[in-house]
Amino acid sequence: MPKLSQWFIKSAVIYVILGMLMGITMGMKQDFTLAPAHAHLNLIGWVSLALMGFYYNAVPAKAEWRAAYAQFWISTVGVWVMIPGLILTLLVVPAGEPLVIVGSLITLIGMVLFAVNVYRR
Ligand code: HEM
């Protein structure tokens, strides 16, 4: 398995553990305020990043692309900025909004870069 795949999958499992803990905490407290942040952490952090990891394992030549590691880091920073921003926004902390905007744009750039790699010859 390419190292890049391992990077994606190793970080994705951390996000899903955090996401599940968040889900369990919401259930225990019966407070679902953070449900959208839980959903995005799981669906971007776990599902999307793990899919990228499995893709790079299925098509290892794509992991050799010069920008492939940049794509990993851009997608990673996207999660790191967007999810805390979303949590703060849901908690009605004004500082959250710029973070969620910037984080979601970084996340989009990561996905566009991934798409470029997928379509590249
Ligand atoms: C231990 C595992 C998990 C627990 C305990 C858990 C718990 C929860 C809870 C309590 C809610 C809020 C329900 C409500 O608003 O009534 C929720 C929503 C949701 N969860 Fe999870 N969850 C888990 C794992 C996952 C995973 C792995 C995913 C996706 C891959 C996921 C995706 C979602 C989505 C999409 C929502 C809806 C969010 C919304 O309505 O804004 N969850 N979950």
Residue 1 is given by DSSP the state -
Q: How much distance in Å is there from the Cα of 27 to the middle of ligand 1?
A: 9
In this prediction, residue 37 carries a pLDDT of 98
Mean pLDDT of the 68-78 span: 98
Ligand 1 proximity of 17 Cβ (cutoff 6 Å): no
85 closest CA partner among 76, 77, 93: 93
Q: Give the model confidence (pLDDT) of 12-68 as tens digits.
A: 999 999 999 999 999 999 999 999 999 999 999 999 999 999 999 999 999 999 999
Where does the pLDDT of residue 121 fall: very low under 50, low under 70, confident under 90, or very high at 90 and above?
confident
Q: How much distance in Å is there from the Cα of 66 to the middle of ligand 1?
A: 36
Give the number of the atom of ligand 1 that is nearest the alpha carbon of residue 21: 1
78 closest CA partner among 51, 54, 46, 45: 45
The pTM of the full predicted model, rounded to 2 decimals, is: 0.95
- Which residue's C-alpha comes closest to atom 14 of ligand 1? 32
Each domain of the chain, given as residue ranges in start order, spans 3-119
Average of per-residue pLDDT values in the chain? 98
